[in-house]
Amino acid sequence: MIYVAAYCRVSTDKKDQANSFESQKKFFEEQINKNPDWKIYQIYADEGLSGTSTKKRNAFNKMIEDAHLGKFTIILTKEVSRFARNTVDTLQYTRDLSKIGVGVHFILDNINTLNQDGELRLTIMASIAQEESRKTSERVKWGQTRQMEKGVVFGSDCLGYKVKNGKLYIDEYGAKIVKIIFHKFVNENKGCSAIARELYEEGYKTMTGLITWSNGTILKTLRNEKYCGDLLQKKTVTVDFLTHEKKYNKGNEEMIYIKDHHEPIISRELWNKAQCILNKKSPLNKEKYTNRYPLSGKIKCGLCGHSFTAKYKHKERKTPYKGWLCQTHSKYGNKHIDKSQNEIGCDMKSMINEKDFLLILQIIMINMDIDKEKIINELCDVLNIVLNQNSSYENDLEYIKKKIKIEQNKNEMLLDLYLDGIISKEEYKNRKDTFLAEITTLKKRIFELENNNDSIRDINQKADDIKLHIKDVLNGVIQDENFYKFILNKIVVNSREEMEVYLNSLPHCIKVIKTQ
């Protein structure tokens, strides 16, 4: 007796698809019952999940696990596209199953992986299924973009708004909190930490029902254009139709901004004031938030263990300076018992000027007992590789010619999208013009390179300058925040007078004690 399993899947949870799901199970039962040597082991079924990845398909993964346990020797599935629309996944799983003597029979495609020509035929069918999935993804994205241009909202609820049937509706409780946040920030001149602490003390709950508020939540609220009535969509994009992985849109696709899209919670005047204040408080706002400060995440509190956060200290008639303060103390103040009888806060209340930390690191560089010349030479060897690699990208004729070929291929693929009806004639023309402009720029670069030999001399001069800079930093002649970022593991602040410095190049800590 041969034990047989079956796998079926439907793409959505719509009512008509749910009926198809039941009919597939019935179909497999009939197929297995037709063969007297077969006995049904189990029908594995995933409902309402995409076929482009196997990560979240629990029934599929359980089936593979049972196959390795020897519970059956044949898997029936209706067709390749029901098994997986990812060619790599399809071939990987069928090959692994073949090694343990388990065959996969794709009934409608008439493919049995244990047959001699099974893998070749499977590769062809899986590739076709994957290409169909890619085209479907393009059509869906195109359709969503057209809907977004019409003002249809894609996304979930946010503080102050509910999303229903593609429209934004004000949630009164959340809207009240939004108004409080903007009032405290603009009119009362309070920072994100202070606002987060006050919302907690006043008992307001977050979108997820928590009573604790983070600086990031407050900042995100202050930056959200929805509160003045505008709508920005495509802040994140799906970068891979196979994995469905989403990333922040950094020029991958054009964002869609609609002004006066819905009922605002705050006035545009108040929102604009908030943006001006945020921009003034964030001199490095053009850089990624988590990388704004070289010491971010590296200064730890010796009392509570949390990181220090950067603050700008403003004193009357004195130049403002950047200091660092324990994040726990910044949020909750000194250690105390809150209304829920929980111990919160931290007694590390000293704000330490960043210049003090940089001076400590500079002094350590001067007195550090290491082979500095060896480090300089090793760093410069890496530097030369990087400079030459970077220069090859913008100065290598072969690389630029390959890039021109890529742009030409994109242009051909664009024509396919137009012929398939995925994009309009106007959009086809606009994108084509973009590709042709890029090709023209690349060809101009080729001409410049063929008539200019100064680039190599520029690279050598740059390498010499950087080598001298590294030497000065290691010898403590100058300070370099970015260099300290890489060599510093962490600084543990036990008090204003006592700190422990841990460097990536040393196995032990350096204790720094400031004398009065």
Query: Among 281, 302, 326, which residue terminates a domain?
Result: 281
Q: Are residues 277 and 206 in the same domain?
A: yes
pLDDT value for 185: 93
Give me the residues of the chain with pLDDT under 70, please. 10-21, 48-56, 84-88, 116, 119, 125-130, 132-133, 237-245, 250-252, 281-293, 314-319, 370, 375, 378-379, 381-397, 449-463, 505-508, 514-516
Cα end-to-end span (Å), the chain:
88
The total of structural domains in the chain comes to 3
Domain that holds residue 201: 151-281
Q: What angle, 0 to 180 degrees and rounded to 10, lies between the N-to-C axes of helices 192-201 and 215-223?
A: 110
pLDDT value for 456: 53
* H helix or E strand, kind and range, residue 48: none
pLDDT value for 393: 45
Residue 489 forms part of a structural domain = no
Residue 286 forms part of a structural domain = no
pLDDT value for 394: 53
CA distance 369 to 403: 48
Share of the chain above pLDDT 90, in %: 21
Q: Are residues 131 and 165 in the same domain?
A: no
- Kind of pairing between the strands at 299-301 and 488-493: parallel
Length of the chain counted residue by residue? 516
Q: Are residues 392 and 266 in the same domain?
A: no
Structure tokens at 459: 């690279």
Query: Among 136, 168, 192, which residue terminates a domain?
Result: 136
Residue 178 forms part of a structural domain = yes
Residue 474 forms part of a structural domain = yes
Residue 26 forms part of a structural domain = yes
CATH code (residue 205): 3.90.1750.20
Residue 317 forms part of a structural domain = no
Residue 151 Cα distances to 125, 233, 268, 362, 432, angstroms:
39, 9, 19, 55, 26
Question: Which DSSP category does 325 fall into?
Answer: E
Whether the CB-CB separation of 220 and 257 falls below 8 Å is answered with no
Q: Are residues 100 and 168 in the same domain?
A: no
Q: Are residues 28 and 92 in the same domain?
A: yes
Residue 188 forms part of a structural domain = yes
Q: Are residues 171 and 258 in the same domain?
A: yes
Q: Are residues 82 and 206 in the same domain?
A: no
Looking at 114-234, list the stretches that DSSP marks H as alpha helix, in order from N- to C-terminal side: 118-149, 172-182, 192-201, 215-223
CA angle 19, 22, 25 (to 5 degrees): 150
- Kind of pairing between the strands at 321-326 and 236-238: unpaired
Question: What is the DSSP track for 446-475?
Answer: HHHHHT---HHHHHHHHHHHHHHHHHHHHT
264's CB contacts (< 8 A; 6+ apart) are 227, 228, 229
Decide: residue 194, CB within 10 A, 0-12 exposed, 13-18 middle, 19+ buried: middle
Q: Are residues 184 and 131 in the same domain?
A: no
β-strand partners of 326: 308
CATH code (residue 40): 3.40.50.1390
Q: Are residues 187 and 276 in the same domain?
A: yes
Q: Are residues 6 and 132 in the same domain?
A: yes
Q: pLDDT tens for residues 386-434?
A: 555 444 445 566 777 878 888 887 777 777 777 777 778 887 788 788 8
CA distance 123 to 172: 55
Residue 212 forms part of a structural domain = yes
Query: Among 110, 136, 162, which residue terminates a domain?
Result: 136
Q: Are residues 85 and 160 in the same domain?
A: no
Q: Are residues 156 and 275 in the same domain?
A: yes
The dihedral built from the CA positions of residue 104, 107, 112 and 118, taken in this order, carries a sign that is: negative
pLDDT value for 124: 72
CA distance 44 to 104: 14
Structure tokens at 377: 């030479």
Residue 480 Cα distances to 295, 301, 376, 469, angstroms:
12, 24, 15, 9
Torsion of CA 62, 63, 64, 66, to 10 degrees: 90
